[in-house]
Amino acid sequence: MKLLPLVLIGSLAANAAGLVYMIGFSPSAGTVGKESEVSRSQSEQLASARSKAADQAAAEVESQSHRAVWGLVDGGDLKGALERMKQLGYPEAVVRWIIKGKLQEDLTTRMLALQAKRGDTPYWKSPGSFMDAGMMAESRAINQRYNEQLKELLGSSAAVNPGEFMYQKYRFGNLAPEKLQQLQRITSDYDEMRMQIQQSTQGMLLAEDREKLAFIDKEQLADLQRLLTPEELANYEMRSSNLANMIRSRLSGFDVTEDEYRQFFAAAKTASGGSAGFSWSAASFNNFGARNNVLLDAARSIMTPERFAAFELATDPQYSQTSRLISRLNLPATATAAVVSVQRDSMKSVQEIRSNRQLTPAQQTEQLNALKQQVTQQLTTVLGERGMAAYQETAGSWMRMMTAPVAPPRALPSMSTGGGSGTAEPVISIAPRG
């Protein structure tokens, strides 16, 4: 207990002793009983006063201690504030809350100052990138310093946000927290290099830019090979590579198993020359048709005919767009397959009509118009009048192929042999292929 409460309590005790002495030597013996009752009452009052004084003294000491903690926090001595709070018995959760709160306040101040350097873009101009490469590097340094302070004061686990940690495990695999942090740093460093290249291209990616991106991919892979075991690297590529992102996007409309996904990934990686890639622009396996064919071939080899038919339909790009519209219109889910089936059959018919050289342009147009009427009726039966109108607006752009004009046959210019005279070659008509 501090000096102040000791003095107060000692003073009160002395006063109480003097009061008891005077009562004990009262000259009136006939009033002994009453005086005894008064003495007990006064003793109780004295005890209450002593307890109240002690409580007030303790409260004052505690208040002074709290003010000292806040002074250390505001003064930037977070380590001193941390030790003082521990001495005072602050709960651990409160200690962490105060320290992290102060660090986040300082982080916000520095980030706002960085944003002030960027300035405001007039609303009539394109904002471009939020930050240039230099500011991005400065931003990363600020965040890195924040994480270092967290680790120093509260331990390594304090620097890992629970939500961020869950995302890292999803993206990188079930690895130790330290390795996850190293992976995050590697990924961030190389992503920053890619961003610098992207910003320098002004939207025009040239061959030399692709070479730089490919080199960055190569260096990132080397760093990953040094950090991860072969099994960990394989899992990382299946989670975080460019190839993995493309495959997941392509499979988003169909519920594949993990084993199926791994087989799809292996087939696609082989088709891309053994590289999974880490940047969209540097990947060799970036042709949509090639990706589609590889995945279809893989699906055909690992799935039953019935499941493959469902896979082929669900991974049709038209399927995804139509499915969202069907859901928006609150129509049965089976309507999606029906609409896509009509669309696919119709496109085959369009190609057959346009490639038929036995038909004149007028005959092709007539058949296309008849096909359009038939398709419109089929789709309206499935979607209804309102749904059909919405479909033509959102997902039915392919139907314009049935109304596009058919070009008349083109004639090659006449050819002659000799110096301007002679027999002209026959004119050759070429029917359009669509």
Check: CB of residue 6 under 8 Å from CB of residue 50. no
210 in a structural domain: yes
Residue 346 pLDDT greater than 70, yes or no: yes
- The CA-CA-CA angle for residues 305, 307, 310, to 5°, reads 110
Given this model, what pLDDT does residue 251 score? 85
What pLDDT score was predicted for residue 131?
Answer: 62
Report the alpha-carbon distance of residue 67 to residue 79 in Å, rounded.
Answer: 16
pLDDT of residue 300: 92
Specify the range with the lowest mean pLDDT, choosing from 53-67, 264-278, 365-379.
53-67
Of 21, 48, 75, which marks where a domain is finished? 75
How far is residue 25's CA from residue 19's CA, in Å, rounded to a whole number?
11
Which whole number is the average pLDDT over 376-388?
A: 94
- At 38 the pLDDT is 60
Residue 143 domain-assigned? no
Q: Is the pLDDT of residue 413 over 60?
A: no
Cα-trace Rg, the chain:
40
Each residue of 203-216: pLDDT tens digit? 788 888 888 988 99
pLDDT tens digits for range 302-320 = 999 999 988 888 888 778 8
Q: Is residue 13 part of a domain?
A: yes
Average per-residue pLDDT for the chain? 77
Reply yes or no on whether the pLDDT at 330 is more than 90: yes
C-beta separation of 101 from 78 below 8 A: no
Q: What is the pLDDT of residues 5-30, one digit of tens each?
A: 433 334 434 444 444 444 444 444 45
Categorize the per-residue pLDDT at 417 as very low, low, confident or very high, splitting at 50, 70 and 90.
Answer: very low
Task: Indicate whether 126 pLDDT > 50.
Answer: yes
Structure tokens, 227:
């950090």
As a whole-number percent, the residues of the chain with pLDDT over 70 amount to 71
DSSP string of 254-296?
S---HHHHHHHHHHHHHHTTS---SSGGG-S---HHHHHHHHH
- Asked whether the CA dihedral 193, 199, 203, 204 is positive or negative, the reply is negative
CB within 8 Å of 190: residues ≥ 6 apart = 216, 219, 220, 278
Distance CA 246, CA 431 (A): 39
Please name the residue that has the structure tokens 């928006």: 328
In-domain check, residue 85: no
Instruction: Give the model confidence (pLDDT) of 80-110 as tens digits.
Output: 888 888 888 888 888 888 888 888 899 899 8
- 138-147: pLDDT as tens digits: 887 888 888 8
Q: Residue 188 above 60 pLDDT?
A: yes
Phi, psi torsion values for 278, nearest 5 degrees: -125, -5
User: What's the confidence (pLDDT) of residue 154?
Assistant: 85
Q: What is the pLDDT of residue 87?
A: 87
Confidence of residue 353 (pLDDT cuts 50, 70, 90): very high
Reported as a single tens digit per residue, the pLDDT across 25-43 is 444 445 555 556 666 777 7
Run of H or E residues at 430: strand 429-430
**Last residue of one domain, picked from the residues 200, 228, 256:** 228
Indicate the angle between helix axes 361-394 and 334-355, nearest 10 degrees.
160
Q: Estimate to the nearest angstrom the gap between the alpha carbon of 87 and the chain centroid.
A: 41
The answer to whether 128 and 203 are in contact (CB under 8 A) is no
Q: How many domains is the chain built from? A: 2
Query: Could you tell me which residue, 227 or 70, shows the higher pLDDT?
Result: 227
- At residue 81, the pLDDT reads 86
Domain boundary among 228, 252, 270: 228
Q: Is residue 196 one of the residues assigned to a domain?
A: yes
Which CB contacts under 8 angstroms, 24+ apart, belong to 391-395?
391/322, 391/325, 391/339, 394/321, 394/325, 395/318, 395/321, 395/322, 395/325
What predicted TM-score, i.e. pTM, was given to this entire model?
A: 0.59
The domain of 51 spans: 3-75
Any idea what DSSP says for residue 402?
Answer: G
Q: Check: CB of residue 335 under 8 Å from CB of residue 383.
A: yes
Report which DSSP code applies to 333: T
pLDDT of 72 above 50: yes
Is the pLDDT higher at 165 or at 107? 107
Copy the structure tokens of residue 402. 């049935």
* 334 closest CA partner among 323, 344, 346: 323
Residue 165 counted as domain residue: yes
Would 209 be classed as within a structural domain?
Answer: yes
Domain assignment present for residue 63? The answer is yes
**Residue-level pLDDT at 335:** 92
